[in-house]
Amino acid sequence: MRISVLAAVLLAIAIGAPAPALAWGAAGHRIINNVAARSLPDSVPAFVRTPAAIAEITTLGPEPDRLKGAGKTWDADLDPGHYLDLDDDGTIAGVLPLAQLPPTREAYDTAIRKGRVVNGEAPDEYSIGYVPYSIVEGWQQVAKDFAIWRVDAYGEKHAANDADRAFFATDRQLREVLTLRDIGYWGHFVADSSQPLHVTVHFNGWGQYPNPQNYTNSNQIHAKFETGFVEAHATADAVLPRLGPYVPSTVPIMTRVETYLAATNSNVAAVYKLEGAGAFDAATPDAVSFTLDRLAAGGKMLRDLIADAYAASADEKVGYPGISVRDVENGAVIPTPKTANGG
């Protein structure tokens, strides 16, 4: 009873309370995490789909923004993980095509340091942003969470003795707590990347670039769109039907992220056109529909990536040097606390 009441309270707070002005706005982040969690397919373990889990994932949507200001080191290292300053030609810093992201942040940083110098400063991952890697790293972490959970769930039932089964039961409960936290926190970066102004050099006003359409240079456009407008005109219930059905995918995660970011970036001009026409001020149907669609794009991506991370976890290994999840689940390997923890 206490858990269900707490879940209801958290959910009401998460999707209905006024929110401070943060990236996508806290309201937008909660909406995206909420609709993703509510639309998960039955293939995802039940512990991720309970009302309490949905409430927790929803509430954690704004978490990376709430932690901003923790300190100079924290902010300088982590703030650039929320965005990507993508050029109009589809490249990063004029040298790295979005469709050719390297597999690691180190290689990414090395590549873009060869890009054009702006105001006397060479680009790097901290000035350009590295949100693609925030998404990929988070997905890999959640897939590993699920892999550990699967071995725990099997060991809880099939380990060789009572002590081992008790260990796996306790470890499974802890892994469920950690997995929900990881999903909720990671969802923030997936959500950021459905907001067109998080994936462009034109992130808050068109800036010093060719501007034949005379788009605004106001530095109010970012907050007007993602915070004030969302709080006034978007709800989780309005966004949810726009997600569409879940379709499994085995496309490599980096490729999926590249495609997702390119699709988001293709909507940058639409934001500026709507702003220029006064559509956000007048709350026109086009402006509302566009905003709901962008929130839905984030919710769909997060929902699909969670489900696909669970599917991919069957091919993971846990412990060190590692036991195969598939081998454990088909009974070929009986896990022990030592083999599941790597010694």
Kindly provide the b/e burial profile for residues 197-230, where b requires at least 16 CB atoms within 10 angstroms of the residue's own CB: bbbbbbbebbeeeeeeeebeeeeebbbebbbebb
User: Does the reported pTM lie above 0.85?
Assistant: yes
Instruction: Report yes or no: 309 and 139 within 8 Å, Cβ to Cβ.
Output: yes
pLDDT tens digits in sequence order for the chain, 343 residues long: 233 434 444 444 444 433 333 458 899 999 999 999 999 999 999 999 999 999 999 999 999 999 999 999 999 999 999 999 999 999 999 999 999 999 999 999 999 999 988 778 889 999 999 999 999 999 999 999 999 999 999 999 999 999 999 999 999 999 999 999 999 999 999 999 999 999 999 999 999 999 999 999 999 999 999 999 999 999 999 999 999 999 999 999 999 999 999 999 999 999 999 999 999 999 999 999 999 999 999 999 999 999 999 999 999 999 999 999 999 999 999 999 999 997 6
Alpha helices (H) along the chain:
2-16, 25-38, 51-59, 63-66, 72-78, 105-112, 125-128, 131-158, 162-192, 221-223, 230-233, 236-239, 253-265, 268-276, 279-282, 285-312, 325-329, 337-341
The residues spanned by each domain of the chain are 2-85+129-341
Instruction: Report yes or no: 200 and 163 within 8 Å, Cβ to Cβ.
Output: no
CATH architecture of 2-85+129-341: Orthogonal Bundle (1.10)
Q: Which of 108, 326, 85 is nearest to 201 (CA)?
A: 85
